[in-house]
Amino acid sequence: MSESRRVAIVTGASRGLGAVIADVLATRGYDVVIGGRDSVALEDAAVRLRARGASVQVASGDIVDPATRERLIDGARALGGLDLLVNNASELGPIGPLTAFDVPKLGRLMPVNAGAPLLLMQMAVPLLARRRGLIVNITSDAAVAAYPGWGPYGASKAALELLTRTLATELADRHVSVLLVDPGDMRTRMQQEAFPGEDISDRPLPEITTPFWQWLLDQPTESLRGQRLIAQSEDPRWSRQAS
């Protein structure tokens, strides 16, 4: 395999936004490691990506499982290195008022949405540093706005945002850039779970973010360090917010 090919890890890549990101990467000449809990959907995604010319490694399993994270990193090594890590996998948890929230369920939300991404970043940094790589952490406007019923999920994403901003500063001297991307509301399974029984057909499909990802992949990574980007905004390169 040519060492000139770029390599990316995308978690939560079996469907939705993660599948769109992986598809863009494959069309841009990246080889990809894809992760997700649905092994059948993940293998289907791998077939599509290989049809686009990408070499693909599959790491099925729960992102909180250390073995899953090891498979993701081992997959990148097998492909020759790592240029990009996209922490997309996340979990919504129950929607409802904080006064009725079953607080022990934070023991699931925080590890999935903040702890596991940090652990994966720790593992990925040595590989990324060799290629002046980039980490993209997928966030949500629930991290910065008080939406009734969304408090626990928002808190977990707010934790991820603070970890991201801190890590962006800490990794500057290793030439690894870290940023946040808020993809906006989309017609995904997770959004449907948030609004059971409701019609969410007015929301755009995740493919609406494709122009953003195409733009992002053309940017010098160090110019993006610490930024919070809005994927569905009306461009101005891409409505970046200082973190």
Active-site positions read 153
Residue ranges in 8-147 assigned as alpha helix (H): 16-27, 39-51, 66-79, 106-110, 116-129
Determine if the peptide bond prior to 238 is cis (ω within 30°). yes
What would the 3-class secondary structure string for 96-128 be? CCHHHCCHHHHHHHHHHHHHHHHHHHHHHHHHH
- For the chain, what's the residue count? 243
Q: How far apart are CA 52 and CA 226, in angstroms?
A: 32
Q: How far apart are CA 46 and CA 24, in angstroms?
A: 13
Q: How far apart are CA 227 and CA 243, in angstroms?
A: 5
Residues forming beta bridges with residue 138, ordered by sequence position: 181
Pair 18, 211: CB distance under 8 Å: no
